[in-house]
A = this chain, B = another copy of it.
Amino acid sequence: GIAAPALAQASPNIRWRIASSFPKSLDTIYGGAEVLSKRIAQITGGKFKISVHAAGELMPAFGVVDALQQGSIECAHTASYYFVGKNKAFGFETTIPFGMNQRQQNVWMYYGGGLSLVRDFLRDFNIVSFPGGNTGVQMGGWFKKEIRSVADLKGLKMRIPGIGGEVMARLGAVPQNIPGGDIYPALEKGTIDAAEWVGPHDDEKLGFYKIAPHYYYPGWWESNSMYSFYVNTKAWDALPKDYQAAFEAAAAEANIDMMAEYDFKNPQALRRLVGNGVKLHAYSTELMKAAQDAAFDLYAEESEKNPAFKKLFESWNKFRADVTLWHRFAEHTLATFQYANPPKQR
Contacts and interface: CB of A to CB of B under 8 A. Distances in A.
Interface of A: 1, 3-4, 6-7, 9-13, 39, 42-47, 49, 98, 101-104, 106-107, 110-112, 136-140, 199-200, 217-220, 223, 241-242, 245-246, 248-250, 252-253, 255-257, 259-261, 263-264, 266-268, 270-271, 280, 282, 285, 288-289, 292-293, 295-297, 299-300, 317, 321-339, 341-346
A306 to B, nearest CB: 15
A218 B333 contact: yes
Contact of A334 (B223, B257, B260): B223
A303 to B, nearest CB: 8
A191 B43 CA distance: 53
Nearest to A39: B249
Contacts of A326: 200, 263, 266-267, 270
A266 B326 CA distance: 7
Contact of A330 (B138, B289, B296, B336): B138
A282 B3 contact: no
Contacts of A331: 101, 136-137, 218
A263 B104 contact: yes
Nearest to A112: B264
Contacts of A248: 39, 253
Contacts of A223: 334, 338
Of A10, A103, A112, A241, chain B has the most CB atoms within 10 Å of the CB of: A103
Given A261-B111, A270-B325, A344-B296, A334 B253 contact: no
Given A42-B245, A330-B137, A343 B292 contact: yes
A47 B336 contact: no
Contacts of A219: 330, 334
Contacts of A98: 338, 343
B263 A103 contact: yes
Contact of A246 (B246, B259, B260, B334): B246
Closest 8 A-B residue pairs measured CB to CB?
A6-B10, A42-B245, A300-B346, A218-B334, A111-B264, A252-B253, A267-B326, A107-B263
B330 A288 contact: no
A256 B248 CA distance: 13
A46 B332 CA distance: 43
Given A43-B249, A106-B260, A337 B285 contact: yes
Contacts of A342: 321, 324
A339 B323 contact: no
